[in-house]
Amino acid sequence: MLANTETTLISTISDTLSATVPNIARHPGRWDAKTVNTLLTTAPAIYVSFSQGSYQELWSDQLLGRWHIFLFAKHLNGNASEIGIYQMIEQLLPALHGLEFGQEDVLRLKQIRNLLNFKNLEFQLDTSSVSAGISCYEMIFELPMRWTQNSSGSIDPWQRYHATHNDLNNKPLASGQAELPQGD
């Protein structure tokens, strides 16, 4: 459900903007300084992410999913040599709002917001490759999604789980590992 939706969003965005936006991908899942540095250096770029879902009581198997499209560009209003944020938004709105996923409802735009102008950022980032500044906008969409029941053998069993949790400076705070029992 989530992976298919993400793939469809990335494909639709690529069909719409791949000629002018060379980097269209899944968001890496975190916002630490290293990730932000990587995202900044790929502009113009677009990243897709699922952030949350709310249970919908209309049906017993429906989740109202919230999807984010992060837009990175060196300009708000592009020029002949490079696309800007405004052009990305203008082209993505008709492509994404109302996008059908073969179910009862469609993708709906909820909000567009300016996340940050990285030119005057206070925390430490390697901005040497983006000295002219970078803008980051976010398009937020909602999509009611029905989940399907998995057959008992459709997901591989986990044998071991390991996690490390880092602080804002990417220093490990806690680490753990667990052996998970396997069913017969």
**144-153 per-position pLDDT tens digit:** 887 765 544 4
In this model, does residue 181 exceed pLDDT 70? no
Instruction: Give the range among 9-13, 17-21, 52-56, 159-163 with minimum mean pLDDT.
Output: 159-163
HSE at residue 132, side-chain half, CA atoms within 13 A, is: 6
Instruction: Report the alpha-carbon distance of residue 177 to residue 94 in Å, rounded.
Output: 46
Instruction: Report the alpha-carbon distance of residue 39 to residue 45 in Å, rounded.
Output: 8
Q: Give the per-residue pLDDT at 157.
A: 58
Q: Give the per-residue pLDDT at 145.
A: 84
Instruction: Report the alpha-carbon distance of residue 20 to residue 78 in Å, rounded.
Output: 11
Of the chain, the percentage scoring pLDDT greater than 90 comes to 40
Average pLDDT over the chain, rounded to an integer? 81
In this model, does residue 182 exceed pLDDT 70? no
Mean of pLDDT values over 137-149: 85
Question: Are 26 and 4 a contacting pair, CB within 8 Å?
Answer: no
177: enclosing H helix or E strand:
strand 172-179
Instruction: Report the alpha-carbon distance of residue 39 to residue 8 in Å, rounded.
Output: 21
Mean of pLDDT values over 14-27: 94
SS3 of residue 21 by DSSP: coil
Buried b vs exposed e over 91-118: b needs ≥16 C-beta within 10 Å?
Answer: bbeeebeebebeeeeebeeeeeeeeeeb
Which numeric CATH code is attached to 2-149+157-179? 3.30.2000
Q: Give the per-residue pLDDT at 179.
A: 72
Domains of the chain, by residue range, sit at 2-149+157-179
Instruction: Report the alpha-carbon distance of residue 4 to residue 101 in Å, rounded.
Output: 9
Q: Give the per-residue pLDDT at 46.
A: 96
